[in-house]
Amino acid sequence: MDMREIRIKAREKLKGVCRVCANCDGRVCAGEVPGMGGTGSGAAFMENVRAFRAVKLNLRALHSSPVPDTGTELWGHSLSLPVMAAPLAGAAVNMGGALSEKELADGLHAGSRAAGTIAWSGDAFVPGIFEAGLAAVAAQGGCGIVTVKPHGVEESIRRIRMAEDAGAVAAAVDVDAAAFRPPAPGLSVGAGNPADLEKIVRSTKLPVILKGIMTPDEAVAAAAAGVSGIVVSNHGGRALEACPATAEVLPAVAAAVRGRMKIFVDGGLRTGADVLKALAMGADAALIGRPLVPPVVGGGAEGVALYFKKLASELCAAMILTGTGAVRAVSPRILYGSA
């Protein structure tokens, strides 16, 4: 199977829920949440894509270097490239039942691992979804990051313990999903105060990551709570329509906590060059969301591995053309306008 065949098959199976656009930029699916789009007018999703595309790289090819090293590591776990599959859950509500939750989770996790990287599992405020992701991580011998929704301290700790038992590399809480929880009398809103976060961090031996940090002050608060990483993310523009693009806030957020934790970013990255831009702006690695949906729907694990292979070759080309020898040695100097 090649990517063209995979995309044709995905388009048939998705029946219009995702149009499998050549440029996944949020225009035709604007407002389709649940679904594959961005919330409201779709502006935050579209802005994410636009902002990464707007960053340019200095082309410098006057060198004779060995093949670039795209590898990196996370808490002792080697990755073939600084990119992972973002949490993507809700096959029934978001993908029109084009595949089962198990097929979605298994395909993302097995395909990512086949490509030498890992996937993050997802969660929801309904039963079944967290469990499918957790099982997929366990099936890969723990090669994956388990994401839990902000369920409150006790339930978050309970789910993170299950991630530990599955042997996961780390556990994440997607704090930007705070408004997705059905409000109920007596339940606090928000993703938890710094004391709650500290309790969660102290409850586990796993590195804890907060996904959905968009400001330097919250990055500093996350560091103070002892987290091991953050994801600069606005949930792919699915949570708050009126928020900036992740590429716009990444440099300042990264500068606030660099060296104290791992910094990840997602939202609108579409090419290997976009990944290199993210690294030059201060990220240790990037997550890819929606562009993995057609590959997993049309080609399962094989489609996902093929997608990462293409992305890795784009990243390698961008590294050659910016004189970047290794992911560990990306310089901000490669950003146009910086030097």
Catalytic residue set: 235
Q: Which of 330, 303, 309, 308 is nearest to 318 (CA)?
A: 330
Contact at 8 Å (CB) between 150 and 191? yes
**Torsion angle of alpha carbons 294, 295, 301, 305, nearest 10°?**
-150
- With the CA atoms of 331, 221, 122 and 95 taken in that order, what torsion angle do they form, in degrees rounded to the nearest 10? -80
| 288 scored as a contact of ligand FMN (CB under 6 A) | yes
Minimum distance of ligand FMN from residue 268's CB (angstroms): 5
Closest approach of ligand FMN to the CB of residue 172, in Å:
7
What span, in angstroms and rounded, lies between the C-alpha atoms of 54 and 314?
A: 17
At its nearest, how many Å lie between ligand FMN and the CB of residue 315?
A: 16
Identity of residue 302: E
| DSSP annotation string for 95-114 | STTSS-HHHHHHHHHHHHHH
32 binds ligand FMN (CB under 6 A): no
Residues 170-209 that bind ligand FMN (CB under 6 A): 174
Contact between 89 and ligand FMN (CB under 6 A)?
yes
CA end-to-end span of the chain: 43
- Nearest distance from C-beta of residue 305 to ligand FMN, angstroms: 18
106 binds ligand FMN (CB under 6 A): no
Query: Residues 72, 94, 112, 203: which binds ligand FMN (CB under 6 A)?
Result: 94
Q: Which amino acid is at 127?
A: P
Q: Does 233 bind ligand FMN (CB under 6 A)?
A: yes
* Binding of residue 88 to ligand FMN (CB under 6 A): yes
**Cβ nearer to ligand FMN, comparing 135 with 326:** 135
Q: What's the closest the beta carbon of residue 110 comes to ligand FMN, in angstroms?
A: 18
Residue from 122, 150, 207, 299 binding ligand FMN (CB under 6 A): 122
Q: Output 90 or 167, the one with its CB closest to ligand FMN.
A: 90
Q: For 72, what's the count of Cα atoms within 13 Å in the CB-facing half-sphere?
A: 23
Interior angle at CA 238, CA 234 and CA 239, nearest 5: 65
Site of interaction with ligand FMN (CB under 6 A): 36, 48, 86-90, 94, 122-123, 147, 174, 211, 233, 235-236, 238, 266-269, 288-290
